[in-house]
Structure 1
Amino acid sequence: MNILILGTSSDLYGGSKILSIVAKILADNNHKPIVVLSETGELVDELNKLGVEVRIIRLGILRRKYFSIPGILNRINVTGKAWNVLSKLIDDEKIDILYSNTTGVLIGAFLAKRKKIKHIWHIHEIIAKPEIFTSVLSFLIEKYSHNIIVVSNAVKQHWEKHIRKQAITRIYNGIDTSIYGQNEGLLKEELNLNNNDFLIGMIGRVNHWKGQDYFIDIAKLILEQQPNVKFVIAGDAYPGNEHLVDKLVNRIENENLKKAIHYIGYRTDIPNILNSLDVFVLPSTCPDPFPTVILEAMASSKPVIATKHGGACEMIADNETGILIPYNNAQQSAGKILKLITNEKQLSEMGKLAKVRIETLFSLKMFTKSILNIINQTYDLK
């Protein structure tokens, strides 16, 4: 089958990584995926390595910064320009299925309807506000999808409140675990830390809910009890939101935390970073649907500490492969982490069990089977 995949971003964060895995699965199983992205970036390089065809066409991706009258008009204008180009692409390549990756790309739903081809919507998000946007988006997903995939039960439960006439299929993301935990991490050397320094880290987009500020709040409380612990934050902001990075860096500097908390920006050497950590933390203050970086940390045999909501509750076996912490109480969170980091035996056991858990529940083999089943099922729909 010829499958057109529309993506929202050309970075290599969670949703984009899953897009590349889906494209590879399709290519490896005698399908022809064509990926359309709005700009060049690391994802394009990754897809090129895989031999997957990529087209650059601005798709009018929805982001929070466009939630205004001028922003919506801008998105309509960009989407209108993309319509004819994509329509011709569908005809020329004889596309059988259109696959929209995340809710940020809307044009695929309308195009699939107009061209009378099947449409799959792969939803990675939990969107609760603004409520009017959630309602409109739910209507579009229900009306313009032949199959709906969600990445966790948390995401499924959220959208089932709004989408009642369409079946929603939960497929846990799966990743290739072979590239994780293979080599010794070099980040401590890069940061001029001692090899025996205890290093706690987080990786994620810098935004209003990923929890970088909450991470710092927790770190400060840990440092009061364990002043020799070190912390690292990796990740950048979406273009146009660089001020959030400036705010983060300024806070670290203004609160005299530069010796303890290291901000290293956007990185592609995720296995190296994870191999360097003693503990991985994802302190999202809003529900994170199914963070791929938790899978990567588990594959690296690291205990994972995450806030107790969203997909993390399904990924982590609390007190076995990691711990779940409150998303709004830094004092309690710091206390839980302090108990863990002083127990070397428990840390080691949690890391081993995390590796087993990902291979058991979130394997690439299971993900591959589920994606191919959805593709075939969608194609066969009348």
Structure 2
Amino acid sequence: MLDAVNETEASPRVLKVVQLLPALNSGGVERGTVEFARELVRLGHQSVVISHGGRMVEQLEAEGSKHIAMPIHRKSLGSLWQVRPLRRLLETLQADVIHVRSRVPAWIAWLAWRKMDPASRPRLVSTFHGMYSVNAYSAIMAKAEHCIAISHCVKRYMVDNYQIPESKITLIPRGLDAEAFVRQDADSQWLEALFSEYPQLSGKPIILMPGRLSRWKGQEAFLQMMARLVSLRPDVHGVVVGDAEPGKQHYLEELLAMRESLGLTEAVTFVGHRSDIANFYRLAAVTCHLSNKEEPFGRTVPESLACGTPVVAYDRGGASESLNAGFRQGLVPADDVVAFAARVADLLEADNQISLPPEYYLDHQVASTLNVYEQLLGNSAH
């Protein structure tokens, strides 16, 4: 394992870092990539992101990074036609580091990188953002020169399933922006606009469910939990923040039908995709995390805790790690909706003490990742 680093340290040289991921639409990996790119620029490094594009490209470029659009997102053999163009691009860019964050881009990047001159090619780093299916396709993430795990459970998965030596793995939790997620009241103008659009939220203890609409994220369990919670606390109101993925809008229709069948039409509001999630955390009385399988990290947990809002989550995966670190009272047995509702009700009356460790913040992630780069670059063996 590479040595740890203090987050106040800066990289001693200017680096050119190329990050690759499928697209820049929404999601934790995308947001994390854009935030890391911004911090690279702020520290004086050169930042390049290669993806198919998306709604976050404008922000990325406005914050000083260069975006290069390439069709590296499709899970098909046709994507291999991008290997040669990417190799030519990388030779032109003369980057110090290639950092891959997803499997299809990792395959394209590795096939391009391995035919480059070992004496001058960039160093190759991967981040395991998930517990990928165990097969030859996913094993590409282990072919990087060094691998980053975003949580202890992901690191264990990497060692157990891909036999990656621990010396080749560095644990770096996904860091949150301390300026974006800070303890303060929700913005008054924001509140006025929100209550104008959704007057049913005004004056209610808000129970927040953030995350894209997906069957494994737990929106169905949230509705079941809310049905029980409303019987205990009729004054609460549930808010679901997030939209369905392209082509899966039918899942939203299913959730709306379920809401009606449970008698929650007046008690739960779906607000769709939002870019103002920090204010929702600040508005909420409790944030809920109900993924129905072990989640690699669970970014909404530390984000909410950083804003001073308690979180209730199932005791498994990355969400469990974050709560054990910052708010153990929020843990409930996995898949126990009854216990979940009872814990939310309890926290509405409690004096909740929250303390999130520094390793969950972006400056620590950036410094630790730069340290990985520097130690690779200091090692002449390619």
TM-score (structure 1 length as normaliser): 0.86
1:1-382 aligned at under 5 Å gives the runs: 1-41=15-55, 43-62=56-75, 75-77=76-78, 79-103=79-103, 105-106=105-106, 107-115=108-116, 116=118, 117=121, 118-127=123-132, 133-137=133-137, 139-142=139-142, 144-166=143-165, 167-180=168-181, 181-184=183-186, 186=191, 187-193=194-200, 195-317=202-324, 320=327, 322-341=329-348, 343=349, 345-346=350-351, 349-350=352-353, 353=354, 356-358=355-357, 360-381=358-379, 382=381
Q: Which residue of 2 aligns with 1:130?
A: none
* SS, match of residue 177 in structure 1: coil
Deviation at 1:322, TM superposition (A): 4.5
Deviation at 1:183, TM superposition (A): 4.3
Whole-angstrom distance in 1 between the partners of 2:330 and 2:104: 31
Whole-angstrom distance in 1 between the partners of 2:294 and 2:305: 19
The alignment-based identity, stated in percent, is 22
Q: Does the CA-based 8 Å contact 1:103-1:123 persist in structure 2?
A: no
User: C-alpha offsets along residues 97-118 of structure 1, whole Å, 9 cap, x if unaligned?
Assistant: 2111134533222222222432
Q: Does the CA-based 8 Å contact 1:24-1:50 persist in structure 2?
A: yes
* SS, match of residue 340 in structure 1: helix
Instruction: Give the AA of the match of 1:119.
Output: L
User: C-alpha offsets along residues 259-284 of structure 1, whole Å, 9 cap, x if unaligned?
Assistant: 10111111111122112111111111
Deviation at 1:188, TM superposition (A): 4.6
Q: Which residue of 2 aligns with 1:67?
A: none
Whole-angstrom distance in 1 between the partners of 2:326 and 2:304: 16
User: C-alpha offsets along residues 216-265 of structure 1, whole Å, 9 cap, x if unaligned?
Assistant: 11111111222221101111122222222222223223443221011111
* SS, match of residue 197 in structure 1: coil
User: C-alpha offsets along residues 183-204 of structure 1, whole Å, 9 cap, x if unaligned?
Assistant: 4252455321364311101111
Q: Which residue of 2 aligns with 1:66?
A: none
User: C-alpha offsets along residues 160-209 of structure 1, whole Å, 9 cap, x if unaligned?
Assistant: 11222442111012122222344425245532136431110111111121
Whole-angstrom distance in 1 between the partners of 2:244 and 2:158: 27
User: C-alpha offsets along residues 106-161 of structure 1, whole Å, 9 cap, x if unaligned?
Assistant: 3222222222432111111023xxxxx4132453233x210100100011111111
Deviation at 1:81, TM superposition (A): 3.4
Whole-angstrom distance in 1 between the partners of 2:184 and 2:367: 26
Whole-angstrom distance in 2 between the partners of 1:280 and 1:371: 29
Count of aligned pairs between the two proteins: 353
Whole-angstrom distance in 1 between the partners of 2:338 and 2:218: 15
Deviation at 1:44, TM superposition (A): 0.8
Instruction: Give the AA of the match of 1:287.
Output: E
Whole-angstrom distance in 2 between the partners of 1:275 and 1:237: 24
Q: Does the CA-based 8 Å contact 2:210-2:300 persist in structure 1?
A: yes
Q: Does the CA-based 8 Å contact 2:84-2:112 persist in structure 1?
A: no
Task: Provide structure 2 residue ranges, at least 5 long, that are not aligned to the other structure.
Answer: 1-14
Task: Provide structure 1 residue ranges, at least 5 long, that are not aligned to the other structure.
Answer: 63-74, 128-132
Go from structure 1 to structure 2 and tell me whether the alpha carbon gap of 1:191 and 1:104 turns closer, same or farther (over 3 Å shift).
farther
TM-score (structure 2 length as normaliser): 0.86
Whole-angstrom distance in 2 between the partners of 1:108 and 1:218: 44
Whole-angstrom distance in 1 between the partners of 2:98 and 2:26: 22
Q: Does the CA-based 8 Å contact 1:304-1:321 persist in structure 2?
A: no
Q: Does the CA-based 8 Å contact 2:40-2:46 persist in structure 1?
A: yes
Whole-angstrom distance in 1 between the partners of 2:241 and 2:330: 21
Whole-angstrom distance in 2 between the partners of 1:86 and 1:217: 48
Q: Does the CA-based 8 Å contact 2:221-2:290 persist in structure 1?
A: yes
Go from structure 1 to structure 2 and tell me whether the alpha carbon gap of 1:244 and 1:109 turns closer, same or farther (over 3 Å shift).
farther
* SS, match of residue 48 in structure 2: strand
Q: Which has the higher contact order (CA 8 A, sep 6+)?
A: 2
Go from structure 1 to structure 2 and tell me whether the alpha carbon gap of 1:319 and 1:86 turns closer, same or farther (over 3 Å shift).
closer
Whole-angstrom distance in 1 between the partners of 2:375 and 2:198: 50
